[in-house]
Structure 1
Amino acid sequence: MIATQDIGGLEVFSCLPNGNTDKPALLFIHGAFAGGWMWTETFMPHFAAAGHPCYALSLRGHGGSQGHEQINWLSIADYVDDVRSVIDALAIDPVLLGHSMGGFVVQKYLERYPAPAAALLCSVPPQGLIAAQFHLMLQKPELFLEINRILAGNYTDTDTLRDALFAGEADPAMLAIWLGKMQNESQRAIWDMSMFNLPNLYHMHRPPMLIVGADQDALVPAFLVQTTAHTYGQPSHILHNMGHAITHEKEWPRAAAIIQTWLDGLRP
C-alpha cells in the first residue's frame, strides 16, 4: 500500500513490506519533468513485496512538493539538499536509485555524502547532457524541438510522450495519465547537467554501483550509459527493446529483476 506524507514541504511516498525485514531501505529519485509518482505503480510495490522498505520523494517544484513557482531557479544542489533532508527526516540509510536526472542527482549527492549503494537508471552521465542533446537533435530533430518546447512550459501530446519514453507498445490510458502529471523542468537544473555543475569524480564517495540503460532510449542512448559505466569502472546492463521509461515499459519486470539481483548481491 502506498502512503504519502509531507516532509518539510516535500511530497514523500512510502511502500513498506509486511512484517520485519533486514533488507535495506530504498529511496527512489525521479527524473526531469516528473515526480515521485512515477515509482508508485510498479517499482515500489514490487520491491516492498521483496522485503525492502521503499520511499520516493518529489523534488521541490515537482509533483505535490512545494516550490513550483520557483521551478526555473532550482539547482541540482537544491535537489541534493532535498534528498538529504528526506533521508534525515526518515532516519534511514537507503540505497539510492535515480532515474535520468535523478541519477545525476545521485552522483552529485555522492560528492557530499556516503551511501550504502547507488543505482543509476538511464541516468544522465557524469560528462553531462551535451552529447545526449546532440544525439537527439541529429537522430530525432522533431522530438528534440518538442522537448525544448516542453522545457519552455508548453503543452505536448501523448504521441510525443510515447516517442520520447517508450520503445514498445504503451497503454494509451497510462500515457494520458502521465501527460496530466508531467510538468516543466528547471532550466537552471538543465544547465547544471549540461556543463555548469558536473560531478567532481575525485571527490565522490564510491559505493557499490549499478548502471542500467535501454537500447531504444532516445533521451539517454545506450552508448552514454556505457560511458557512465566505464567512468565508474562498472559493467553496464542494457535492456533490449526498451526505452527511457523502464519503470513503465510492459516488460518493466526485466529491469526490476536486474536491480533485485544486484541488491541481493549487496548483502553480506
Structure 2
Amino acid sequence: MITKQDINGLEVFSCLPEGKSQRPPLLFIHGAFAGGWMWTETFMPHFAAAGYPCYALSLRGHGGSKGHQQIDWLSVADYVDDVRQVVDTLNIDPVLLGHSMGGFVVQKYLERHPARAVALLCSVPPQGLIAAQFHLLLQKPQIYLEINRILAGDHTDTDTLRDALFAGEVEPAMLAEWLEKMQNESQRAIWDMSMFNLPNLYCMRRPPMLIVGAEKDMLVPAFLVQTTAHTYGQPCHILRNMGHAITHEKEWPHAAAIIETWLESLTP
C-alpha cells in the first residue's frame, strides 16, 4: 500500500513489504517535469513485494512538496539537499535510484555524500545535457520546441507526450493522467545540468553502480547512456524497444527485473 508523508515540506511516498525484511531500503528520485508519483504505480509496489522498503520523494517545487513559487530559482544543489534530508530520516542508508534528471542529482549527491549503491536510469550523463539537446533538435525538432514550452510552464498535448516518452503502446487513460500531473521545471536546474554544475568526477564517491538506458529514448539517447557507462567504467544495460518513461512502458517489468537482479548481486 502506498502511503504519503510530509518531511520538512517534502512529499515522500512509502511502500513497505509485508512483515520484517532484511533487504535495504530503496529511495527513488524522479526526473524533470515529474514528481514522486511517477514511481507509485509500478516500481514501488513491485520492489516492496520483493522485500525492499520503498520510498520516493518529490523534490522541492514538484508534486506535493513546497517551493512551487520559487521553482525557476531552484538548483541541482537544492535537489541534492532534498535527497539528503530524506536519507537522514531513514534508519538504514538506502540504495538510490534516479531517473533522468534524478540520475544527475544522484551523481551530484555522490560528490558530497556516501551511498550504499546507485542506479542511474535513463540518466542525464555526467557530460551534461548539451549533446542530448542537439540530438533532439536535429531528430525531433517539434518535440524539442514542446519541451521548451513545458519548461516555460505551458502544457503540451498527449500526442507530443507519447512521442517524447514512449516507444510502445500507451493506454490513453494513463497518458492523460501523466499529462495532468506534469509541471514546469527549474530553469536554473536545466542550466546546471547543461554546463554550469556538472559532476566533478574526481570528487565523487564510487559505490556499486547500475546504468540502464532505453533503445528508443528520445530525451537521453542510448549512445549517451553508453557514454555514462564508459565514464564510470560500468557495463550498460539498454532496454530494447522502450522509450524514456521506462516506469510506465508496458514492458516496464523488464527494467524492474534488471534492477532486481543487480540488487540481489549486492547482497554478500
Which TM-score band applies after superposition, normalised by the shorter structure? over 0.9
Cα drift, residue 91 of structure 1? 3.1
- TM-score, length of structure 1 as denominator length: 0.99
Identity %: 84
What is the root-mean-square deviation in Å for CA atoms of aligned residues? 0.5
Q: Which residue matches 1:32?
A: 32
CA distance in 2, matches of 1:227, 1:73: 29
Single out whichever of 29-38 and 86-95 deviates more from structure 2. Answer: 86-95
Q: Which residue matches 1:113?
A: 113
Q: Which residue matches 1:48?
A: 48
> Is structure 2 residue 242 aligned with structure 1 residue 242?
yes
Structure 1 portions without partners, runs of 5+: none
Cα drift, residue 155 of structure 1? 1.2
CA distance in 1, matches of 2:116, 2:89: 18
Q: Which residue matches 1:14?
A: 14
Cα drift, residue 89 of structure 1? 1.9
Cα drift, residue 65 of structure 1? 0.2
> Is structure 2 residue 50 aligned with structure 1 residue 77?
no
Matched AA of 1:232: Y
Q: Which residue matches 2:174?
A: 174
Residues 219-253 of structure 1, C-alpha deviations (whole Å, 9 max, x = no match) = 00000000000000000000000000000000000
Do the aligned residues in 1 keep the contact of 2:74 with 2:186 (CA within 8 Å)?
yes
- TM-score, length of structure 2 as denominator length: 0.99
Could you list the structure 1 runs, at least 4 aligned residues long, displaced by more than 3 angstroms after superposition.
none
Q: Which residue matches 2:222?
A: 222
Do the aligned residues in 1 keep the contact of 2:24 with 2:92 (CA within 8 Å)?
no
CA distance in 2, matches of 1:86, 1:149: 31
Question: Number of matched residues?
Answer: 268
Matched AA of 1:212: V
Matched AA of 1:259: I
Matched AA of 1:186: S
Q: Which residue matches 2:140?
A: 140
Matched AA of 1:113: H
Matched AA of 1:155: H
Structure 2 portions without partners, runs of 5+: none
- State the secondary structure of the residue aligned to 2:119: strand
CA distance in 2, matches of 1:253, 1:126: 27
Matched AA of 2:229: A
- State the secondary structure of the residue aligned to 2:224: helix
